[in-house]
Amino acid sequence: MSMRTGGSYRESSLLKIRLTLCRMQFGQGRWIAGRRDSRRGIMKSLLRRTAGVAVGCLCFAALISAVATASTRKTDDGDRHVLKGAKPSWTDAVAKTADVPAGEGIRAKVWLAPRNAAGLDALARAVSDPSSSQYQQFISEDAYRAQFAPTADQVAQVSAWLTSAGLHVDAVGADAHYLAVSGTAEAVNAAFGTELAKFVVNGELTQAPAVEVSVPSSVADSVATVTGLSPLGHKVQPADFGPPGGFVNGTPCSNYYGQRMADDQPKFQGHTLPYAPCGYTPSQYRGAYGVSGSNAGSGATVAITDAFDAPTLLSDANTYATKHGDQAFKSNQFRDRSVPEDASKEADCGGNGWYGEQTLDIEAVHGMAPDATVLYYGAASCYDDDLLAQLAQVVKDNKASVVTNSWGEPTFLVIDGVLYTTIDQGLIDAYESVFKQGAAQGIGFYFSSGDSGDNLDAWGYKHPDWPSGGVWVTSVGGTTLAIDRSNNRTFETGWGTQRYGLTADLKGWTLQVPFLYGAGGGFSQVFDQPWYQQGVAPSNTGRSVPDLAMDGDPTTGMLIGETQSYPLASRFGPAGVHYGEFRIGGTSLSSPLLAGAQAVAQGTRRIGFANPLIYSLVRNNSPFFDVTPQGDAGNVRADYVNAMNADGGYRYTVRTFDDDSSLKTERGWDDVTGVGSITPAYFSRVSGGSGR
C-alpha cells in the first residue's frame, strides 16, 4: 500500500464502493433553539440537499478502485496532461442528458502549484514543531512569495495558454495561487480538452466534464487543478433572500445550567432534569474556559471566512456586546474584507442563509476575546473554490494569525448506490498550498468538525468532513457544557443527541429520534495519521478527527443577537424586521469559541499551525480538560410551536447528552472531542513562553 506523507492522498483510498441502501434521507441543516432549520447551515456542508444521501444501514459489495498517485498524468499522445479528479468519477456511471450549450457562460479557477513544494512542506513542519530548532521562526508573506509562489513567468505562460484558447483571465489570485477565468463552454472545452455536459444526479440537474480534463504539457508543472466545472458536492443548500427568518426560544429556560428544574414534567430515567439554558453569554463562556484579564485577546487578530456579507453584521455584534456587558468594537477593531457577491450563484447558495453563521462567528470570537481584532472575509459564493480564494487572501494579507471556518463538504457522495470521492489530489494540493503557506507565516486554520456525528446518516458512509479532516488544519469538535451561577464549568461531556417526546398520556417520554445530531469525527481513509498525532490518537488509523473541542450542543449553546424578519409578534417586538436573540449551537459555535481562546492564549506572539503544539502538550502533563461521559442524561427543552410566541402552544422534548452516533467520548483522545477542551492551565502553558 503506497501512501504519501504530510497530508497527501492515499493511493489506496476508496474511490467507489457499491452499496445496498436500506434507508435514504437528504440534507443537513442549522441547529437553533430546538429546531432544524434547513435554510441556514451551522456546519455548512457544501452539498445540496438533493445531492447528499443518508443511509440507515449498509450492505457492502466489493467494488474498490484506486485513486491515482499524482494529480496529472500524460495522455497517450504525450502532448497533454490529465488533471486527475477534475472530471468527477461519477460521470462514468451516470448518463449525460445533454451537452452544455456552446455559448453558455462558465466561470472557473485554475489553481497553480507552488514552487519547491517539498521545501514548503519541510518549512511548514519545522516552524510548527515545538521540538524543532526552527519552531515559530515564521517567514513573511514577501519571503513566501520570493521562495514558493508561482513566478510571473509561470503566470504569464498559463495566462497565454488560457487566452489563446478563448478564455478571459479575470484576475490573478492572492500570491498567484489561482487564475480566475471566464468564457463560453466552447472555450472551456477547447482549453481543457473536455466536453462539459448536463447530468441528472439523485433527481438534480447538474453539469460536469464528461471527458477527462487536461492541460498542455508545457504548463503541466504549473497547474494543480481546475475548479468550478462541476458544482455537485461543492455548494450549500439554497435559502430565501431578504432578512433571515426570525426564531425565538421558548420558555421556561435556565439563565445558568440547572437554575430551573423541570419539576412540572415527567422524570426521565428516574431523574428530574433541568430546563435547558436560555443560551450562554460571553462572560459565562470566559468564566467556564478560564479567560481572565481586562484585555483578553489584545494584540491578536482573528479572521473569519464565510459566504456573503450581511448588512447588519457590525451593528448586530455591537448591540449584542453592549446588551451583555461587553464593549462594542472599537474603531478599526472590526474590518470587513469581503469580496463582491457573485449574483449568479446567490440563489444556489441561499443568500441570507449565511447571515446567522456570520453573526455567530463574529459574536463568539468577540465574546471570547473582546480585545482581539476581527477581520471578516466574506466569499463571493458558497462554492468551495470561492471560499478557498478568500483563505488565500487571508494568508497574503498576513494580518490574522488565527482563522476560523465553520464550513465544510463531504469527502464522499452516494449516487445510485455507489460511493464516490468528491476530493481529488489536485484539489487537496490547492488547499494545502494555502494551509502550508499559512503555517510558514504563523497562521493557524480552525475548521468545524461537522454536526452529523460519524456522517453515516448524512452521507451513507462513516468518514470525517473535508477540510476538517485534513492534516494541516485544527479540527474542532463539539461538547455539551454545563456552566453554573458563578460561571464555573460544572461538567462537560460529548455532544450527541437523542430526542424524546412526551407520551400520549403526558406521563412519560418516548424516543422520537435515535440520533438527531452530534459532533463530527472519525478516522480518515484519505490521509495517513500525521506525525503529530502519533502516540496520542489510536495507532494504525488515518488522520484522527477532531483535535480539540468546545461547546457545540444547541441545548447548551450560545445566545446570539441578529437582525431577523419576524412574521409574528414576539418578546423582541412586533412583526417585522428588527434585532432579536436566540440560542444556537453546532460545531460552528465550537470553532469560533476556540479561535477566540487561541487569540487570548497567544496575544501578540503567533502560535501558527497549532496541532503539533497541542499534541506535544498532551504528552507532557496535558493542560486540557479531558471530556468524558458525565453529568445529567439530558435537558428538557420548551419550544414554541409557531417558533415565535406562546400563542400556538408549546412542545416539550428531552434532548440527551453524549449520544453521538457510533462515536464515543472516553478518557484521553476520542472521536467526539479530540484531546479535550480549554482550561486555565492551557493559557498559562502557552502564554508563558515556548508552550513546550
- In tens, the pLDDT along 345-358 reads 777 787 777 888 99
Task: Compute the mean pLDDT over every residue in the chain, rounded to the nearest whole number.
Answer: 87
Residues 6+ apart with CB under 8 A from 326: 282, 283, 366, 367, 370
Lowest mean pLDDT among 104-108, 411-415, 578-582, 626-630: 411-415
Q: What is the mean pLDDT of residues 448-454?
A: 95
Residue 675 has pLDDT above 80, yes or no: yes
Q: What is the mean pLDDT of residues 256-262?
A: 98
Look at 692 and 320; give whichever has higher pLDDT: 320
DSSP state of 677: B
Residue 414 has pLDDT above 90, yes or no: no
Contact 664, 264 (CB under 8 A): no
Residue 111 has pLDDT above 60, yes or no: yes
Q: Which helix (H) or strand (E) holds 617?
A: helix 611-618
Domain limits of the chain? 80-114+149-232, 238-688
Q: What is the mean pLDDT of residues 466-471?
A: 96
Q: How confident is the model at residue 235 (pLDDT cuts 50, 70, 90)?
A: low
Contact 274, 258 (CB under 8 A): yes
Residue 293 is predicted with a pLDDT of 79
* Domain 238-688 fold: Rossmann fold (3.40.50)
SS3 for 532-600 is HHCCCCCCCCEEEECCEEEECCHHHCEEEEEEEEECCCECCECCEEEEEEEEECCHHHHHHHHHHHHHH
Residue 38 has pLDDT above 80, yes or no: no
pTM of the model: 0.89
pLDDT per residue as tens digits for the range 280-289: 999 999 999 9
Angle made by CA atoms 612, 357, 576, in degrees to the nearest 5: 165
Q: What is the mean pLDDT of residues 288-301?
A: 91
Q: How confident is the model at residue 514 (pLDDT cuts 50, 70, 90)?
A: very high
Q: How confident is the model at residue 343 (pLDDT cuts 50, 70, 90)?
A: low
> What are the beta bridge partners of residue 223?
112
Residue 426 is predicted with a pLDDT of 86
Cis bond upstream, residue 467 (ω within 30): yes
Angle made by CA atoms 400, 236, 665, in degrees to the nearest 5: 70
Residue 403 has pLDDT above 50, yes or no: yes
What sign for the dihedral angle of Cα 618, 620, 623, 629?
positive
> What are the beta bridge partners of residue 60?
19
Residue 338 has pLDDT above 80, yes or no: yes
| Amino acid letter, 567 | P
Q: What is the mean pLDDT of residues 474-498?
A: 98
Residue 322 is predicted with a pLDDT of 98
Residue 34 has pLDDT above 90, yes or no: no
CA atoms within 13 A on the CB side of 577: 6
Residue 21 has pLDDT above 60, yes or no: no
Q: How confident is the model at residue 295 (pLDDT cuts 50, 70, 90)?
A: confident
User: Cβ atoms within 10 A of the Cβ of 77, count?
Assistant: 7
Residue 520 is predicted with a pLDDT of 96
Residue 25 is predicted with a pLDDT of 30
Residue 43 has pLDDT above 60, yes or no: no
Q: What is the mean pLDDT of residues 416-445?
A: 92
Q: Could you give the 3-state DSSP secondary structure of residue 418?
A: strand
Contact 526, 425 (CB under 8 A): no
Residue 78 is predicted with a pLDDT of 60
Q: What is the mean pLDDT of residues 327-344?
A: 90
Residue 18 is predicted with a pLDDT of 28
Look at 382 and 322; give whichever has higher pLDDT: 322
Lowest mean pLDDT among 108-122, 200-214, 315-329: 200-214
pLDDT per residue as tens digits for the range 162-182: 999 999 999 999 999 999 999
Residue 2 has pLDDT above 90, yes or no: no
Q: What is the mean pLDDT of residues 23-37?
A: 35
Contact 537, 465 (CB under 8 A): no
Grid coordinates representing 400 are 490574522
Residue 4 is predicted with a pLDDT of 30
Residue 593 is predicted with a pLDDT of 98
Residue 540 is predicted with a pLDDT of 83
Lowest mean pLDDT among 62-76, 456-470, 664-678: 62-76
Give φ, ψ of 98 to 5 degrees.
Answer: -170, 165
